Amino acid sequence: MASETVIRRLKIVEGHVRGIVRMAEEGAYCIDLIRQIQAVEAALNKVSSQILEEHLRSCVITAIQGEDPKERERVLKEIAEVFEMANKV
């Protein structure tokens, strides 16, 4: 479950995206739209980092300290996949 901080930040991003949609509908200057989109991307990256940190502190630590080697491998593979996808973007 996501923390209250993560949920609050996502709701802020949601409001920001609605603002960008309004700007686009009103014919805002393209560079202004791009700057706002970049701000949302930065905010989402921050939220993503927070979620990853929470995951590392809970699920990953539990799996690594556990007795099931398949679970350890599964969790490590997930983390590797997240980083791989981040590099593709």
How many CB atoms neighbour CB 75 within 10 A? 20
* pLDDT at 89 exceeding the cut of 70: no
The whole-number pLDDT of residue 85 equals: 86
Contact 51, 62 (CB under 8 A): no
Q: Where are the alpha helices (DSSP H) in the chain?
A: 4-25, 30-55, 61-65, 69-88
Specify the CATH architecture of the domain 4-88.
Answer: Up-down Bundle (1.20)
d(CA 12, CA 20) in angstroms, rounded, equals 13
Predicted model pTM: 0.81
- Residue count (the chain): 89
Q: In the predicted model, what is the mean pLDDT of residues 59-80?
A: 90
| Residue-wise pLDDT tens digits, 10-62 | 999 999 999 999 999 999 999 999 999 999 999 999 999 999 999 988 988 88
pLDDT of residue 36: 98
